[in-house]
Structure 1
Amino acid sequence: MAIVWGRHPKYALFVFVVLATTFYLLDPFSLPPPEPLPPLNIDSVKGELPKRLARADAIYDKVLADRQGLIRHFGPTPQDVMMFPPNKDPWPPYTVWDFFPAAYNCPHELVRVGALGDGGKWVCGLSRVETKKDCVIYSVGINHESSFEAQLLTSTSHCEVWGYDFSVSSFGPQITRSLSPRTHFFAYGLAGNDHIPPPNAPSTDYPMYTLQSLMKMNGHTHIDILKVDIESWEFETLTTMLKPYLESGEPLPFGQLQLEIHLWNKTFEDFLEWWEMLESAGLRPFMTEPNLVYVNYNRQASADLAEYSFLNIKGDNIFIKDKPEVHAH
C-alpha cells in the first residue's frame, strides 16, 4: 500500500475512501435511525377518557353476546366448532378468528409502529408515553427484526426497551448506535417457570424466566407496553403468568400487550377457554392482523397465525387513567 501511495497518491486516496464507505455501510450500527412518528400530544379532553372507555366496554359486551350466539349457531357447543371448516356444501362462512374480533375501541389515537410488513405492531395511545419519564417497554422475541422497538424509541423521549430472545445475540440492525443507550438485551426466554441452567448444561439449555422474575431483576413495578412473539409458547406462558393475578384480583402489571398468536394443534374449545382467561384478566383486543406472510410462504397453510393488540382495562395504567394534575403551591 505504501508503494501504491507513493506512486499513485490520488488512486490510493480513492481506494481508501471506497473501502471506508463500504465498511461504514456494512456496519449495522451505522444505519440511519428510523423516522420518528409525527408528534402526537393529543391527550384526551379532560373528563372524556372515562366516557370513551365506558362506550368501548358497552360495544365489547355486545361482541361477547354475539360470540355465544355464533357458537350456538355453528356448534351448538364449543366442542363442535371447527377452527377452519373444510370446503363442503353448505360451506360454513367463518374461521376461528371471526369469533374473536378486535372490537374494543382504542380510546386514543391508533398508530402502527415499525415496519408495515411482518415486525410492526399496532399501539393504542402512543401519545400517552411520548414524554413519560418512567416509560418501560418489554420486547420478548426479537428474531433479527427490531423496527417496532426502534420506532418506539425515536418517537418517545424517555422510553427504554428491555429485549429478550435466546435465539439471537442482540436486537436487530434497526437499533442503531444512537438508540442503543436506551436498550437492554438479554439472551433469556419468557416462560411459565424460572429455569436457570447448571454450569455444565448444553449450549441449547437456555435461561428462562417468568415475567415477574424479569421485572424483579430490573427493579420494575410496571410495564407500559409488552410485546410477545414466542412461537406458540404464549398459551402455556400466559396461562401461568396470569394465574396469580386472576386469583388475587390484582391488575396485570402492563398497560397493553402486542401478541402474535399461533394456533398450531389447538382446538376451538381450548382456544376459547384460553381467550376468555385473557378477557377475565382485563385484556381487550383493539386491533388484529392475520399473518398473511406466513400463509403466502406456506401455500397450503390455514391462516392460523394472527397479530393481536390488547389494552389492559384494569388498574391505573397510563392508557386508561388520565395523568394527575400538578397544582402549584
Structure 2
Amino acid sequence: MHRPIAILLASAVVLFLIAFTSTRTSAPWRPSILSHAPGSGGGDAAYVEARLAHAERLWQQAVEGRKEMVAQSGNRPFPDGYIYPYHVWDFARPSFFCPHDLERVGTLGDGGKVVCGMSRYEAASPGPSSATNAAPELVVYSFGVNDDSSFEAAMLERTNAQIWGYDYTVSGWAKQIPAHLASRAHFTKAGIGKGRTKNPPFFTVHELMELNGHDYVDLVKMDIEGAEFDAISDLVSSVRYDPANRYNGTLPFGQLLIEIHLIDGGDAFSTPKDLAAFMNWWHSMEELGLRPVNNEDNWIGDNSVGKPRFMEYTLINVLDKKKNKLL
C-alpha cells in the first residue's frame, strides 16, 4: 500500500473512533413519551393532543378507504369468501395508533393482552393493589377468565387495580393471582348476555356496572367466545338511548381489549351474517369513541378450525378525555 493512501485510511479510522466514542459516551436517547409522563411537565397534554389529532386524521383516511374496499369486494359468503383482494380482517385494521407505549401484559401466549399506555396506568395508579394503597384506583372488568389470569395478576401487581371478573365456565380465578392480591380481585360465576334467571346467571355489561356502582371502567378485557357482538351491541344501544345522559355520548370505558370470534353462535348468541352487518357493528364502536390501535391473530384458534376466524384487538376511547387516564 502506498504511504499517502495508508495515512488517509489511518486518519479516517481515527475520526470514526472519535465519533463513535463521542456517541457512546453522550446521554442515551429516550423515546419522547418517556419524557412526557403524567406529572413530569414538558407539555404532556399538548403532546398527547397532537398525537391524537394526527392519529385521528389517519383513521379518517382508513374510513374512506374502507368504502372503496367494500365496493370492490362485492357480495360474498361471510366471512370465508373474503380472501382476495381484501381479507375479512382488512376491513377492521388498526388504523389509529396508541399515543403511548404498547405492551403485552401477562403471558406471551393467549392469556396475555396488548395494552396501550401501561406506563400511564402505572403512573396514575401505582401498585401493587392493596387496601392501604392511597393511590387512585384503576377499575378493570374482565369478561372471560378461563384458565389463565396472568393479565389480571400483572394489573394487580403493577397498578392499584380493583378487578371484577365474570365467567360462567369456571369457578374462580386461575392460579396466577397470589393470595396477597386476591382481595382486590372479585370473581362472579356468571355469563355476559341476557337472562338473570339462568344458572349460572347472565348479565349485560351495563347491568353489571349498575350493580357494582360504576359509571365508568378504565379498562375492559372481553374474551367471551362470540358473545361479544351481542354484548357490545347492547351497550351501544344503551348509550344511544340515554335520556339521563349517564354515558356522555360515548362507551363508558377508556380501553377495550377484545377478541373477535367469527363463529356461528346458534341460539346462544348472534354473530354477523354478512360483511355489511360486521361493518355496521364495528362502526358502531368507532362512532361512540373507540379507535383500534393494535390487532393480532389468535393462531391457536385459527388452527383449530383451519380458517382465520379469531382476532385480538386493542381499542382506546378518544371521546371521554376527562376520565380516560390514557388521554
Task: Report the TM range for the smaller structure's normalisation.
Answer: 0.7 to 0.9
Corresponding letter in the other structure for 1:73: Q
1:143 has 2:146 as partner: yes
Aligned to 2:51: 52
Corresponding letter in the other structure for 1:270: A
In the TM superposition, residue 319 of structure 1 has moved relative to its aligned partner by 3.8
Corresponding letter in the other structure for 2:323: N
What's the secondary structure of 1:151's corresponding residue?
helix
Corresponding letter in the other structure for 1:275: W
Match of 1:161 among 138, 160, 163: 163
Alpha-carbon contact 1:49-1:320 (below 8 Å) kept: no
Aligned to 2:274: 267
Alpha-carbon contact 2:69-2:86 (below 8 Å) kept: no
- Counterparts of 1:317 and 1:56, CA distance in 2: 20
Give the 5 Å matches for 1:41-80.
42-43=37-38, 45-75=44-74, 79-80=75-76
Aligned to 1:179: 181
For structure 2, which runs of at least 5 residues remain unmatched after alignment?
Answer: 1-33, 126-135, 243-247, 265-272
In the TM superposition, residue 238 of structure 1 has moved relative to its aligned partner by 1.1
Alpha-carbon contact 2:143-2:192 (below 8 Å) kept: yes
Deviates more, 1:275-284 or 1:54-63: 275-284
In the TM superposition, residue 82 of structure 1 has moved relative to its aligned partner by 4.9
Identity %: 36
What's the secondary structure of 2:140's corresponding residue?
strand
How many residue pairs match? The answer is: 264
Give the 5 Å matches for 1:23-102.
42-43=37-38, 45-75=44-74, 79-80=75-76, 82-85=78-81, 92-102=84-94
- Counterparts of 2:237 and 2:169, CA distance in 1: 27
Q: 1:319 to 1:65 in 2, by over 3 A?
A: farther
1:221 has 2:215 as partner: yes
Aligned to 2:309: 304
Aligned to 1:109: 101
- Counterparts of 1:297 and 1:73, CA distance in 2: 30
- Counterparts of 2:200 and 2:78, CA distance in 1: 36
Alpha-carbon contact 1:84-1:94 (below 8 Å) kept: no
Q: TM-score scaled by structure 2?
A: 0.75
- Counterparts of 2:66 and 2:84, CA distance in 1: 16
Corresponding letter in the other structure for 1:208: F
Give the 5 Å matches for 1:218-297.
218-248=212-242, 250-265=249-264, 266-297=273-304
- Counterparts of 1:230 and 1:181, CA distance in 2: 24
Alpha-carbon contact 2:317-2:324 (below 8 Å) kept: no
Corresponding letter in the other structure for 1:146: S
In the TM superposition, residue 108 of structure 1 has moved relative to its aligned partner by 1.2
Corresponding letter in the other structure for 2:319: K
RMSD: 2.0
Deviations 1:42-90 (A, max 9, x none): 3372421111111111010000011111111222xxx44753338xxxx
Alpha-carbon contact 2:260-2:310 (below 8 Å) kept: yes
Corresponding letter in the other structure for 1:225: L
What's the secondary structure of 1:179's corresponding residue?
helix
In the TM superposition, residue 289 of structure 1 has moved relative to its aligned partner by 0.7
Alpha-carbon contact 1:170-1:185 (below 8 Å) kept: yes
- Counterparts of 1:194 and 1:297, CA distance in 2: 30
- Counterparts of 1:313 and 1:194, CA distance in 2: 32
Alpha-carbon contact 1:74-1:81 (below 8 Å) kept: no
Deviations 1:202-227 (A, max 9, x none): xxx22111222212222222110001
- Counterparts of 1:221 and 1:294, CA distance in 2: 34
- Counterparts of 1:246 and 1:159, CA distance in 2: 29
